[in-house]
Amino acid sequence: MGRPIGKCHICGKECELTYEHIPPKKAYNHKPTKMYIGKEYFKDLEKRDIKDTSKLRYTDFQKGVGDYTLCERCNSTTGKWYAGEYIKISNAIYDYLGHHLEELKDAKSVELDFKDVYPLKFFKQIIAMFLSIIPNEYLENHKELRKYVLDRDSVEFSNKKYRISLGLLKQDFEGWSGINHLLMCNGKIKLISFLVVAPFYFVLEFNPEEIVFDNLLDITSIGHQYNYNDRIALNIKSNLFLESEVFPINLFYHK
């Protein structure tokens, strides 16, 4: 079977698509994984416990979670430019949380210090992952996000148009949504995309207005404050989330 043909989520060109691991394969995303579609996950809840997934239909990802979303070129350039730094930070946090499970059992937050990281590379990998999970039709109206990822050195990331926040997960759990519409308590509608890739829980808000999810850490400023080769000491102070505490998303993955 040949590779599917479609529009690359990053450059927008029609071409043969390659399999993009979300998160990168080396960020502990190489294991066979089951995928449940949201609607299946919430089926027959009166008859079964939500945690009992034994009778649900699922798709098997033999080589880790991901999708055919990128052309060969975008897959390899983003891999080369951004993925390595993301993997380094992600795995360090994953290992830290894994080794301190008992200590952090009742903790609501955690503070981590990194001595020497490339913040813009890490940030752009997050945006590249969001581009892969957001439907192409929607991305046509957000070409600046594509340009931002395609140009390694661009720092044109508008905090008026986008906000990126993160939380950390206590459990190994993955999933994402395309675009969600949330009706906020002030009557406004907020457009949002969720990306859960353990140990991170990322939220991308479109046209963020006055409402901030104050339980998440806003990292938007990284996107325009640093250059590609800037190295800094990074402090991440974030709340810790359980599976039941992340927003409803359309897909759930269980390892």
Nearer to Zn ion, 8 or 203 (CB): 8
Q: How far is CA 253 from CA 42, 69, 74, 88, 249, in A?
A: 14, 18, 25, 22, 11
* Closest separation in Å from C-beta 38 to Zn ion: 28
Query: Given the rule CB under 5 A, which of 2-10, 51-59, 89-97, 125-133 is the region that contacts Zn ion?
Result: 2-10
Pick the closer one to Zn ion by CB: 74 or 110. 74
How far apart are the C-alpha atoms of 157 and 202, rounded to whole Å?
17
Distance in angstroms (rounded) separating the CA atoms of residues 41 and 250 = 9
The Cα 240–Cα 220 span in angstroms is 19
Instruction: Compute the 3-state secondary structure of the chain and give helix, strand, coil in percent, each to the nearest 5.
Output: 25, 30, 45
162 closest CA partner among 216, 221, 121: 221
Sole window of 3-11, 76-84, 158-166, 205-213 interacting with Zn ion (rule: CB under 5 A) = 3-11
Site string for Zn ion, 4-33 (x = CB under 5 A): ----x-xx----------------------
Short-list 248, 130, 122, 128, CA closest to 195: 130
Closest to Zn ion by CB, 149 vs 219, is 149
- In the complex with Zn ion, which residue's Cβ is closer, 42 or 138? 138
Beta carbon nearer to Zn ion, 10 or 216: 10
Binding to Zn ion (CB under 5 A): which residues in 35-94?
71, 74
By CB under 5 A, the count of residues binding Zn ion is 5
Q: Which of 141, 147, 241 lies closest to 194, judged by CA? A: 241
Find the shortest distance in angstroms from Cβ 72 to Zn ion.
8
Q: Residue 150, interface with Zn ion (CB under 5 A)?
A: no
Residues that bind Zn ion (CB under 5 A): 8, 10-11, 71, 74
